[in-house]
Amino acid sequence: MLPPVLPTPEAPEPAGPGEGGPLADPAYREAVVDLLGVLAYGELIAFERLAEDSATAPTLPDKVALASMAAAELGHFIQLRDRLTEVGAEPYAAMEPFRATFDQFHANTAPRTWLESLVKAYVGDGLAGDFYREIAAYLDEATRTLILDVLDQSGHSDFAVERVRAAIAADPRVGGRLALWGRRLVGEALSQAQLVAADRDALAALLAGGVDRPGMDLAAIGRMFVRLTENHARRMAALGLSS
């Protein structure tokens, strides 16, 4: 994956002065549990989908490449689940509110071909990673470090670039179809993200800030979307696709 344009943190760390650090604030803690829950469930389902897609790989090395991405996602999942336990949450209960969203996203974007699987792995992984990096800027240090560490461990997806470019070189019509597919993936992802934001007050409040904690105003949210869109366009271009 290309190194993303890093977000400029627009808010300082919401460091709690009291005992127990920022997590002692119930509203903040609820938001962090939500965030870890959504991340964890996303990684678990990413494992499942990548493993499923690896079964359709045209060659054994391709199968292994996608299977390795799947195993890496499961490793991330384990770290996030264990962090949920550390902050005193029941990890699987924390993931529960996000199951329907992810399951719907994956049902709406089930790849019909191996190349669609690759584009989804590369573009989806990248977009989710960028979004979580943006949000990490608003978190306490321990949680932020974990999330950034988990995201840094990605990078198995480079082979997708090579495979997709080779397929387009062999048959340029493939590029048009996959570009449409990439746009559909982003549309579905944004639509599901909106549903989550509408449903989870604590998460939305984390972004919006609080009385003693600066958050994102509308302009900052706008700038975040610009960064997300730019990074997405760079990934599509890396694949040889118009975004």
User: Do 173 and 4 touch, CB atoms closer than 8 A?
Assistant: no
Q: Which is nearer to a second copy, 37 or 129 (CB)?
A: 37
Output the smallest distance, CB 94 to a second copy, in A.
11
Output the smallest distance, CB 33 to a second copy, in A.
16
Q: Which is nearer to a second copy, 74 or 204 (CB)?
A: 74
Q: Which is nearer to a second copy, 8 or 85 (CB)?
A: 85
Q: Which is nearer to a second copy, 56 or 242 (CB)?
A: 56
Output the smallest distance, CB 23 to a second copy, in A.
23
Output the smallest distance, CB 154 to a second copy, in A.
16
Q: Which residues bind a second copy (CB under 8 A)?
A: 44, 47-48, 51-52, 54-55, 59-61, 63-64, 67-68, 70-71, 74-75, 77-78, 81, 92, 95
Q: Which is nearer to a second copy, 92 or 144 (CB)?
A: 92
> Which residue shows structure tokens 């045209």?
58
β-pair partners for 210: 213
Distance between CA 226 and CA 187 in Å, rounded? 15
Distance between CA 162 and CA 153 in Å, rounded? 20
Q: Which is nearer to a second copy, 66 or 236 (CB)?
A: 66
Output the smallest distance, CB 100 to a second copy, in A.
13
Output the smallest distance, CB 39 to a second copy, in A.
14
Straight-line distance from the first to the last Cα atom of the chain, in angstroms, rounded to the nearest whole number: 16
> Which residue shows structure tokens 């191996």?
114
Entry field: residues in the chain: 243
Q: Which is nearer to a second copy, 75 or 209 (CB)?
A: 75
